[in-house]
Structure 1
């Protein structure tokens, strides 16, 4: 299943029964980045600043004074429902005098967040693998010529007397084929091992 983050921050505004809802969404790489986004974009004068973020398996949400489960959780469900990850969504509400009830709040917060994410310019998150490879100077050009077809990105490159040492990133789906190809191109003389992710 494809998972997406946002290319850039986006917003969506809607009036629901005289209350104004403003959803702000942004790509984030860490919990501290998400919290900084909420801090920077929250409106102290607004009635509620409710939010949620999801980064891999890590997530948090906040109802900011709305009845429990009526704001933060529906925002999180909107993030998951739009197949998003590494995303923070803040929904700001200015109360307009008409109570929405718990079901109305869930629909309002979840709906505004989902619409904001629907309108956003998304970028597919491709799972990446990291390999540590070594080869001789004789094989260097041949191997480099294959990088593009496997989607390889060079993270680090060091030359020594024997040849080159690389730390390479590439899409997980190409990892096994690239390793096999690397061994074939170096006639078994090169090394290409996965780096264990912490």
Structure 2
């Protein structure tokens, strides 16, 4: 199962007089990943190298370091620890001593890896998107019970008889949600997959 971070985290390290600062954050989309990188980068640093992964999408940048010595090792750290929906930025302030290509790869990959290990992580769950129409009489009870099933209310649209609810529920709890809806509505509410 893949993991993601609960919140942003940082890791600092000095390697042969070069200072490295790794910053990582959970992201839900490519645009969010790029926004995090733009906001967290330091324009005064020697290099702002990064990688992010969101599902099957990923990107990385060596930002002027020799090709394959920064972005790819950061991405390897993300994938090596089974992370998804995260962005990692490693900022380097050059200290005057050359690290060589192997040293750079170890420094960038190691900083990213230690940063991710130091952050609080949570298992990513596959969620099913579904919808149902709920009458006003059952609406409050249903909304109160959604948390028990780790279901998320994505949207609700009201009409004369109640509300059309769009939900995201962990796949393993889909059948439980169907039973809950049947119980509170005496079989009137039907859950549909989207």
Same fold (TM over 0.5): yes
CA distance in 2 between counterparts of 1:114 and 1:166 reads 40
Residue pair 1:143, 1:182 contacting (<8 A) in 2 also: no
Q: Which residue of 1 aligns with 2:14?
A: 15
The structural deviation recorded for 1:122 is 2.0
The structural deviation recorded for 1:8 is 2.1
CA distance in 2 between counterparts of 1:148 and 1:71 reads 41
Is 1:63 aligned to 2:62, yes or no? yes
CA distance in 2 between counterparts of 1:45 and 1:65 reads 14
CA distance in 2 between counterparts of 1:97 and 1:177 reads 61
Residue pair 1:183, 1:192 contacting (<8 A) in 2 also: no
CA distance in 2 between counterparts of 1:64 and 1:98 reads 18
Q: Secondary structure at the match of 1:130?
A: strand
CA distance in 2 between counterparts of 1:24 and 1:146 reads 37
Is 1:191 aligned to 2:190, yes or no? yes
Q: TM-score, normalised by structure 1?
A: 0.83
CA distance in 2 between counterparts of 1:137 and 1:46 reads 57
Q: Which residue of 2 aligns with 1:134?
A: 133
Q: TM-score, normalised by structure 2?
A: 0.84
Q: Which residue of 1 aligns with 2:50?
A: 51
CA distance in 2 between counterparts of 1:99 and 1:142 reads 64
Change (3 A) 1:74 1:178: same
Q: Which residue of 2 aligns with 1:178?
A: 177
Q: Deviations over 1:144-184 (max 9, x none)?
A: 276444333333253533x5532222111111343356457
Q: Which residue of 1 aligns with 2:121?
A: 122
Q: CA RMSD in A?
A: 2.5
Q: Which residue of 2 aligns with 1:81?
A: 80
The structural deviation recorded for 1:69 is 0.8
Q: Deviations over 1:25-81 (max 9, x none)?
A: 122222222222222222223221111011111110000111111100000111112
Of the structure 1 ranges 164-173 and 151-160, higher mean CA displacement relative to structure 2 is found in 151-160
CA distance in 2 between counterparts of 1:51 and 1:58 reads 14
| Structure 2: gaps spanning 5 or more residues | none
Q: Which residue of 1 aligns with 2:160?
A: 160
Q: Deviations over 1:60-106 (max 9, x none)?
A: 00001111111000001111122222211111112222221211111
| Structure 1: gaps spanning 5 or more residues | none
Q: How many matched pairs? A: 192
